[in-house]
Amino acid sequence: MLPDLQLEDIVRLRKPHPCGSYEWRVIRLGADIRLECLGCGRLVMLPRRQLARRVKSIQSGNISPGAQSS
């Protein structure tokens, strides 16, 4: 299955979205995971099992609390 996935993580999928982007941002976690395309902003929901098959890599999107600028 999927390793630990957090909100705001960037997920690179194996096949591109029709807009040409491979990268998606995680915006909801649960039994289904909602993703936002970083190329066109399209929102999709995928079951966790289906996403696990499509993922190529995961990048952490969270910024450490000390690194935020006001």
Average pLDDT score over the chain: 87
Considering Cα of 54, then 61, then 8, then 44, what sign does the dihedral take?
negative
**Domain residue spans of the chain:** 10-62
Q: Which helix (H) or strand (E) holds 48?
A: helix 48-54
Residue-wise pLDDT for 49-68, tens only, equals: 999 999 999 888 765 555 54
Looking at residue 59, its pLDDT comes to 87
CB neighbours of residue 6 within 10 Å: 11
